[in-house]
């Protein structure tokens, strides 16, 4: 997990690079090749871990809480507003507020990211479970299904598009917010960018390559989730966004 | 104990430095307002016109997907290399962040107005421009405001990150623990939280005040399944 921290200096060495690197040209493929294994790849792997853990825990929590809250009446609106209000907490501020509690650590970052994931996913799970049309529920009950069977065989399958929709936003946002983890330490794809921005003349290739990796990671995850929704809920494939 | 100490120190920092924090907050609001203004000027007319014509849904959807996938730090970094350090690069980076939600929601809002209402308006002899102004825009207001609110909160909440690229604002204090110590960092973080929550609540209030009563009623009555996708 903390491969970067153990991986030695990742600061580009302006003194010994090619003409492209020392001249800070627009994009130096030789720098990317030279620093893929010591800077970019570990940062990418770490970013995937950061996101995976956060979304995994966040999804489990949101799903369990969503099921628990499913039968409570009249909570949809307050939950939506509260979640939206909590989501306004700026990531940089949240990271810093957690520092007295858990320090400049991986835990601090994961707590914040799990929090954002939960706030995105929980309203989606609740709303999704309520998306089943009343007549469908009536029919299911009329056929003799128990409450539990209705939940697992009717409401949950119908909630899949909303839940996957929430997951898409959660994953992409977590990848984006994960770059801010660099303000706390050597974490993720934000760190090479953060380092470059701290230099008097920011090294372009480092910013562009790490940035492109973050964007491509987000788009790839988004596309995968769209595919997943097509598989799980082919009837809901009308709209992409 | 440590926790309570850290937060009481932070509150003391806020009490001791109201001038500094107010000035930094004002800087942040200026930057955010400029970015939001540009985002609105570009994305709002575009989204409304495309929605009115029912064209370019792939552009609206694509911009929301790509917009979400662009991390703020990456945008700030990239625009710094193009526009140099300071106000302008941060303003442009934040404006790009703002365009996604505004474009998608304004397009959706106008595009999804009940076709029957539009047909009825056309039947009474209204021109396209009149339909847009008197039927589609009022009915699209809730979504227009949703886009504005999401964009405004995103911009205000992201603005502190701009501090590492010379953006000023409360982020200056947050990223400068060497000068302001942990109490300053946490104090400024609390201020940033209050600021973005304040923007959120303010815009919710404005939305409630501006939305015509008929639109509000129809929204409550109509099933909200469409939003779930």
Q: Number of helices (H) and strands (E), helices first, in chain A? A: 12, 0
Distance CA B90, CA B102 (A): 19
Residue A165 is part of which domain span? 39-236
The CATH number given to whatever domain includes residue A47 is 1.10.3720.10
Of A65-74, A126-135, B137-146, give the lowest mean pLDDT range.
A65-74
From the list A92, A165, A172, the residue facing B161 with the nearest CB is A92
Contacts of B63 in chain A (CB under 8 A): none
Q: Is the pLDDT of residue B156 over 90?
A: yes
Three-class secondary structure of residue A99 per DSSP: helix
Structural fold of domain B20-217? MetI-like fold (1.10.3720)
* 3-state DSSP assignment of residue B32: helix
| pLDDT score of B207 | 86
Nearest to B78 among A94, A211, A218 (CB): A211
Which of A156, A155, A215, A193 is closest to A12 using CA atoms?
A193
Decide if A6 is inside a domain.
no
Q: What share of chain A is helix, strand, coil (3-state, %, to 5)?
A: 75, 0, 25
Stronger pLDDT, B99 or A239, i.e. the higher one: B99
As a whole number, the mean pLDDT across chain B is: 87
Residue B43 CA to chain centroid, in angstroms? 12
Among residues A190, A57, A30, A188, which one has the least CA distance to residue A114? Answer: A57
pLDDT digits (tens, 9 = 90+) for A142-195: 999 998 899 999 999 999 999 999 999 999 999 999 999 999 988 999 999 998
Interface of A with B in 174-213 (CB under 8 A): 175-180, 182-183, 190, 193-194, 196-198, 202, 204, 207-208, 210-211
> Per the CB < 8 Å rule, is A93 touching B160?
yes
Nearest one of A158, B54, A225, A232 to A240, comparing CA atoms: A225
A214 touches chain B (CB under 8 A): yes
A51 pLDDT more than 90: yes
Residue A133 exposed, middle or buried by CB count within 10 Å (0-12, 13-18, 19+): exposed
**Domain range summary for chain B, segments of one domain joined by +:** 20-217
pLDDT confidence tier of residue B222, bands split at 50, 70 and 90: very low
CA angle B34, B38, B44 (to 5 degrees): 135
Measuring CA to CA, how many Å separate A72 from each of A79, B94, B216? 11, 39, 25
Residue in the block written with tokens 């396209």? B128
CB atoms under 10 Å from CB of A27, counted, come to 12
What is residue A156's predicted lDDT score, i.e. its pLDDT? Answer: 92
The ipTM, to two decimals, is 0.84
Task: Say if residue B226's pLDDT is above 70.
Answer: no
Better-predicted residue by pLDDT, A64 or B4: A64
CB atoms within 10 A of CB B152: 25
What is the Cα–Cα distance from B138 to B134, expressed in whole angstroms? 7
Looking at chain B, the whole-number percentage of residues with pLDDT higher than 90 is 55
**B2/A contact by beta carbon, under 8 A:** yes
Tell me if A21 is assigned to some domain: no
Select the more confidently predicted residue: B74 or A39.
B74
pLDDT value at residue B98: 94
Structure-token pair, residue A229: 């929704």
Q: Distance (Å, rounded) from C-alpha A72 to C-alpha A82?
A: 16
Task: Give the residue from A168, A57, A39 showing the smallest Cα distance to A106.
Answer: A57
Asked if residue B198 lies in contact with residue B149, where contact means CB atoms within 8 angstroms, the answer is no
Tell me the C-alpha distance between B2 and B180, whole Å: 18
What is the number of domains present in chain A?
Answer: 1
Would you state the torsion angle of the CA atoms of residues B114, B116, B120, B121, taken in this order, to the nearest 10 degrees?
20
Three-state secondary structure readout of B132-157: HHHHHHHHHHHHHHHHHHHHHHHHHH
pLDDT at residue B221 in the model: 41
| CA separation for the pair B149, B152 (Å, rounded) | 5
Q: pLDDT for B181-217, tens place per residue?
A: 888 999 999 999 999 999 999 999 988 888 777 766 5
pLDDT at B171 over 80: yes
Examine residue A199 and state whether it is found in any structural domain, yes or no.
yes
Q: A20 or A229, which is more confident?
A: A229
Q: How far is CA B131 from the centre of its chain?
A: 27
Task: Tell me the per-residue pLDDT of B27-85, one tens digit each, with 9 for 90 and over.
Answer: 999 999 999 999 999 999 999 999 999 998 888 888 888 888 999 999 999 998 888 88
């Amino acid at each position: 997990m903390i491969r970067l921290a153990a991986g030695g200096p990742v600061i580009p060495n302006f003194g010994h690079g090619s003409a492209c690197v020392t001249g800070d040209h627009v994009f130096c493929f030789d720098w990317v090749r030279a620093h893929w294994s010591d800077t970019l790849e570990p940062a990418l792997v770490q970013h995937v871990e950061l996101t995976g853990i956060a979304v995994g825990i966040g999804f489990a929590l949101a799903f369990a809480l969503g099921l628990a809250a499913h039968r409570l009446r009249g909570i949809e609106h307050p939950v939506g507003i509260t979640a939206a209000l909590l989501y306004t907490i700026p990531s940089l501020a949240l990271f810093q507020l957690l520092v007295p509690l858990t320090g400049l650590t991986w835990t601090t970052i994961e707590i914040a990211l799990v929090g954002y994931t939960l706030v995105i996913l929980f309203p989606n799970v609740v709303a999704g479970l309520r998306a089943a049309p009343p007549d469908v529920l009536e029919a299911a009950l009329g056929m003799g299904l128990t409450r539990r069977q209705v939940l697992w065989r009717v409401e949950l399958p119908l909630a899949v598009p909303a839940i996957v929709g929430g997951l898409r936003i959660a994953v992409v946002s977590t990848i984006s917010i994960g770059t801010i983890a660099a303000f706390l330490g050597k974490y993720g794809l934000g760190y090479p960018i953060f380092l470059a921005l701290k230099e008097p003349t920011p090294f372009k290739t480092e910013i562009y390559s790490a940035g492109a990796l973050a964007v491509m990671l987000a788009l790839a995850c988004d596309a995968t989730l769209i595919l997943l929704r097509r598989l799980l809920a082919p009837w809901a494939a009308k709209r992409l966004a | 104990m440590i926790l309570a100490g850290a937060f009481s120190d932070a509150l003391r920092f806020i009490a001791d430095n109201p001038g500094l924090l107010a000035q930094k907050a004002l800087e942040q609001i200026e930057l955010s307002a400029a970015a939001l203004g540009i985002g609105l000027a570009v994305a709002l007319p575009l989204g409304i016109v495309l929605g009115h014509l029912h064209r370019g849904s792939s552009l609206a959807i694509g911009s929301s997907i790509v917009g979400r996938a662009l991390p703020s730090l990456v945008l700030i970094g990239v625009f710094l290399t193009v526009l140099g350090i300071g106000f302008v690069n941060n303003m442009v980076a934040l404006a790009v962040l703002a365009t996604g939600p505004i474009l998608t929601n304004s397009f959706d809002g106008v595009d999804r107005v009940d076709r029957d209402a539009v047909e009825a308006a056309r039947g009474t002899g209204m021109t396209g421009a009149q339909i847009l102004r008197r039927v589609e825009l009022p009915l699209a207001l809730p979504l227009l405001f949703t886009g504005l609110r999401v964009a405004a909160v995103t911009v205000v909440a992201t603005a502190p990150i701009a501090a590492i690229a010379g953006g000023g604002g409360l982020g200056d204090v947050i990223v400068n623990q060497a000068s302001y110590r942990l109490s300053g960092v946490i104090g400024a973080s609390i201020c940033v939280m209050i600021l973005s929550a304040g923007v959120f609540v303010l815009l919710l209030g404005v939305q409630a005040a501006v939305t015509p009563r008929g639109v509000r009623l129809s929204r409550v009555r109509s099933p909200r399944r469409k939003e779930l996708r």
